[in-house]
Structure 1
Amino acid sequence: MPRVPIASEDERKFIVDGIQSQCRNDGRDCRSYRPLLLATDVINTANGSCLLKLGGTIVMVGITFEFSRSSQDKPNEGRIEATVDG
Structure 2
Amino acid sequence: MSIPLVPELLRSHLEKLAAADARIDGRGRFEPRETTLETGILGNAEGSARVQMGNTIVLAGVKFQLMTPYPDRPTQGGLMCSAEVRPVAGRGWEAGPPSAESIELGRVVDRGIR
Counterpart amino acid of residue 36 in structure 2 = L
Q: Displacement, 1:57?
A: 0.3
Unaligned 5+ runs, structure 1: 1-6
Counterpart amino acid of residue 32 in structure 2 = Y
Q: Give distance in 2, aligned partners of 1:68 and 1:19.
A: 55
Counterpart amino acid of residue 19 in structure 2 = Q
Q: Which has the higher contact order (CA 8 A, sep 6+)?
A: 1
Bigger strand share: 1
Q: What is the alpha-carbon root mean square deviation over aligned residues? A: 2.8
Matching residue of 2:25: 26
Relative to the length of structure 1, the TM-score reads 0.65
Q: Give distance in 2, aligned partners of 1:14 and 1:34.
A: 21
2:33 aligns to what SS in structure 1? Answer: coil
Unaligned 5+ runs, structure 2: 86-114
Bigger helix share: 2
Alignment: residue pair count: 78
Q: Give distance in 2, aligned partners of 1:75 and 1:65.
A: 22
Relative to the length of structure 2, the TM-score reads 0.52
Matching residue of 1:57: 56
Counterpart amino acid of residue 61 in structure 1 = A
**Structure ID, larger Rg:** 1
2:27 aligns to what SS in structure 1? Answer: coil
Q: Give distance in 2, aligned partners of 1:80 and 1:17.
A: 50
Matching residue of 1:38: 37
Q: What is the percentage of aligned positions where both structures have the same residue? A: 23
